[in-house]
Amino acid sequence: MTPSTPRRREHTHPAPGAPPGTLTAHPGSSQPVIHMMSYDQDTLIDEEIHDLAVIAEHLGRRPVLWLNVDGLGDIDVIAQLGVMFGLHRLALEDVLQYHQRPKIEEYGEHLFFVLRMLEDGGPVATEQLTLFLGDGFVLTFQEHPGDCLDNVRRRIRESMGRIRTMGADYLAYCLVDAVVDYYSPKIDELAERAEDLETEVLFEPGRDTVLRIHEMKRDLLTMRRAVAPLREAVNALIRDEHPAVTDATRVYFRDCHDQVIQVVELAEVQRELVGGLLDVYLSNVSNRMNDVMKVLAVIATLFIPLTFLAGVYGMNFDPDVSPWNMPELRTYLGYPLVLLAMVLIVVFELILFRRKGWLGGPPATKKKNRNQRDGRPDT
């Protein structure tokens, strides 16, 4: 399996020296697709908006108005929505910058949320979801169509639970909670991958093992960066009172805060586990290399005396010239005796290496100490 390559995303910034609140769209952004859900306990308006004037007609007519914008390629549409809902230009500028850190900020009577929403498939990647909460409305902006909010839409359409009886702040909680809940299955998936990777590292490490370890570390780091900042942001929302969030809804945000902490802690545990797997992998590779080097060293050591003997008797000094010039060359059994000496040397070395524990098994000294400890006779 070839590790997948993470998708790189360019960041778009206003031109240097541009005034605060300058709106700059990303060149690759799609045109906005606007969907509106306006509801109370008994009625629901659920439709796609093609004319912004229709939105103005529904403002204030029902307790909750949720406007979702998919695609941020039209600055004029975003600016008009900002004027219509009284949104701060600095917040609108953050909407168009995809690299924002998750946060919750207060702008007068409005709350501005920046969330990182998991994308489906491939390595862990996130999409920026921005949310405005005001009096009777929730306005969300996404980079492109497709999200994890369909369950919230279904609850609204089927009037499930209390969502149709609560205000806009409860809808904002449901959206934040849906984003956070979407991390739990991904954490479980990464945990299963980590277990498989642990088995692979211990028993069958391959060439791509270290790449998969680094891929896991990257995915977990991306997930932690997407969730960890929400811990303090949601905690501040619980701690500080704001007119857009009622006391009844603040209780639900407290539960969301607990879920954020749980996801962050699980991500940290998996990161430590995967980091430890890298150490185990490197240690395993080093041990395997040591075993290979030990075998090669043993083979080389076996041939050193044999090479010495072959070198001595390969010098071919003529014994007719001098009686000191290798008289063994005239021995009748000289050749088989040298071969026998070579075999005996190899056998002696193998026995010596075995007793020292170089060819497997404990060294003789450790075996003797163990026998003395267990009260058994030495063998």
Kindly state the average pLDDT of the residues 27-41: 89
At residue 137, the pLDDT reads: 94
Taking only the tens place, the pLDDT of each residue in 136-147 is: 999 999 988 888
Q: Where in the sequence is the domain holding 337, given as residue range(s)? A: 313-374
Task: Provide the CA 3 distance to its chain's centre, in angstroms.
Answer: 12
Q: Are 174 and 150 in contact (CB under 8 A)?
A: no
Query: How far apart are the C-alpha atoms of 28 and 26, rounded to whole Å?
Result: 6
State the CATH number of the domain containing residue 135: 3.30.460.20
Kindly state the average pLDDT of the residues 122-144: 90
Query: How far apart are the C-alpha atoms of 352 and 294, rounded to whole Å?
Result: 15
Q: Clarify whether residues 249 and 317 are in a common domain.
A: no
Domain assignment present for 197: yes
Statement: residue 374 has pLDDT above 50: yes
Q: Are 166 and 55 in contact (CB under 8 A)?
A: no
* DSSP string over 189-245: HHHHHHHHHHHHHHH---TTHHHHHHHHHHHHHHHHHHHHHHHHHHHHHHHS-BTTB
Domain assignment present for 27: no
Statement: residue 47 has pLDDT above 70: yes
CA distances from 337 to 221, 314, 333, 334, 341 (A): 69, 15, 6, 5, 6
Q: What is the mean pLDDT of the chain?
A: 85
Q: Clarify whether residues 258 and 356 are in a common domain.
A: no
Domain assignment present for 290: no
Statement: residue 357 has pLDDT above 80: no
Domain assignment present for 336: yes
Q: Clarify whether residues 198 and 109 are in a common domain.
A: yes
Q: Clarify whether residues 271 and 325 are in a common domain.
A: no
Statement: residue 209 has pLDDT above 70: yes
At residue 289, the pLDDT reads: 83
Domain count, the chain: 2
Domain assignment present for 252: yes
Kindly state the average pLDDT of the residues 121-125: 78
Q: Higher pLDDT residue, 143 or 3?
A: 143
Kindly state the average pLDDT of the residues 171-190: 91
At residue 132, the pLDDT reads: 96
Q: Clarify whether residues 266 and 326 are in a common domain.
A: no
At residue 261, the pLDDT reads: 92
Task: Provide the CA 134 distance to its chain's centre, in angstroms.
Answer: 35
Q: Which of 283, 305, 338 is the last residue of a domain?
A: 283
* Cβ neighbours of residue 88 closer than 8 Å, sequence gap 6 or more: 21, 82, 107, 108, 110, 112
Q: Clarify whether residues 100 and 205 are in a common domain.
A: yes
Q: Clarify whether residues 266 and 342 are in a common domain.
A: no
Domain assignment present for 158: yes
Query: How far apart are the C-alpha atoms of 364 and 379, rounded to whole Å?
Result: 10
Statement: residue 16 has pLDDT above 70: no
Kindly state the average pLDDT of the residues 132-157: 92
| Confidence band of 1 (pLDDT split at 50, 70, 90) | very low
Kindly state the average pLDDT of the residues 144-154: 90
Q: Clarify whether residues 240 and 101 are in a common domain.
A: yes
Lowest average pLDDT, out of 10-14, 16-20, 218-222, goes to: 10-14
Q: Clarify whether residues 199 and 317 are in a common domain.
A: no
Q: Clarify whether residues 98 and 216 are in a common domain.
A: yes
Domain assignment present for 1: no
At residue 2, the pLDDT reads: 47
Q: Clarify whether residues 218 and 115 are in a common domain.
A: yes
Q: Clarify whether residues 321 and 278 are in a common domain.
A: no
Taking only the tens place, the pLDDT of each residue in 96-105 is: 888 888 999 9
Q: Higher pLDDT residue, 168 or 205?
A: 168
Domain assignment present for 357: yes
Taking only the tens place, the pLDDT of each residue in 273-307 is: 888 888 888 888 788 788 788 888 888 888 888 88
Q: Which of 240, 263, 283 is the last residue of a domain?
A: 283
At residue 168, the pLDDT reads: 94
Kindly state the average pLDDT of the residues 198-209: 83
Query: What does the H/E/C string look like for 20-67?
Result: CCCCCCCCCCCCCEEEEEEECCCCEEEEEECCHHHHHHHCCCCCEEEE
- Give me the residue label for tokens 């430890």: 276
